[in-house]
């Protein structure tokens, strides 16, 4: 069996959008990330090969509280696999801002396969370091 770098690829792309992306994921860190996904509430029962594909084709970002992940004027183009923290969506009705949904570690959200969602109905904001 090939090592984790050969199976996943030698690098995971990390765009600069998040507050603090891990920029140098080495083979042991890739392995650790796959291991974390096997314990993920939503994805953990997927075959390990599929989790390795997800790690190889995704990127890891860390967001701090208050960071706005998406707005109604920004199309959603990524699926978020929540490893930790909290993300919520807020809608403004009248002059009042209301939290209408929340996701945390173990959840998957944003752009999902087969979803018709293209833009969020409100601001998606990090509530706890994610």
Residue 81: give the domain boundaries.
68-128
Query: How far is 120 from 37, CA to CA, in rounded Å?
Result: 26
In a domain? residue 32: no
Residue keyed to tokens 């029962």: 45
CB 130 within 8 A of CB 86: yes
Q: What pLDDT, on a 0 to 100 scale, did the predictor assign at position 11?
A: 34
In a domain? residue 9: no
Number of structural domains (the chain) is 1
The mean of the pLDDT values for the chain is 81
Per DSSP, what are the bridge partners of residue 87?
103, 126
| pTM attached to this predicted model | 0.74
In a domain? residue 73: yes
Q: What pLDDT, on a 0 to 100 scale, did the predictor assign at position 19?
A: 40
In a domain? residue 45: no
Q: What pLDDT, on a 0 to 100 scale, did the predictor assign at position 28?
A: 55
pLDDT band at 22 (very low <50, low <70, confident <90, very high): very low
In a domain? residue 106: yes
CB 42 within 8 A of CB 82: no
Q: What is the pLDDT of residues 70-128, one digit of tens each?
A: 999 988 888 899 999 999 999 999 999 999 999 999 999 988 877 777 888 899 999 99
Q: What pLDDT, on a 0 to 100 scale, did the predictor assign at position 115?
A: 77
Nearest Cα neighbor of 59 from 129, 11, 97, 117 is: 11
In a domain? residue 59: no
In a domain? residue 33: no
Range in 9-13, 45-49, 56-60 the model is least confident about: 9-13
In a domain? residue 63: no
Is residue 5 scored above 80 in pLDDT? Answer: no
């Amino acid at each position: 069996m090939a090592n984790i770098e050969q199976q996943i690829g030698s690098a995971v792309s990390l765009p600069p959008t998040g507050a603090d992306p891990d920029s140098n994921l080495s083979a042991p860190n890739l392995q650790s990330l796959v291991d974390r996904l096997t314990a993920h509430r939503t994805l953990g029962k997927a075959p390990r090969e599929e989790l390795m594909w997800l790690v190889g084709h995704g990127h890891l970002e860390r967001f701090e509280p208050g960071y706005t992940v998406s707005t109604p004027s920004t199309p959603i183009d990524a699926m978020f696999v929540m490893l930790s923290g909290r993300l919520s969506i807020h809608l403004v009705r009248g002059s009042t801002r209301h939290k209408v949904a929340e996701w945390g570690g173990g959840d998957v959200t944003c752009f999902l396969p087969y979803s018709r969602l293209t833009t969020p109905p409100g601001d998606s904001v990090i509530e706890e370091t994610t």
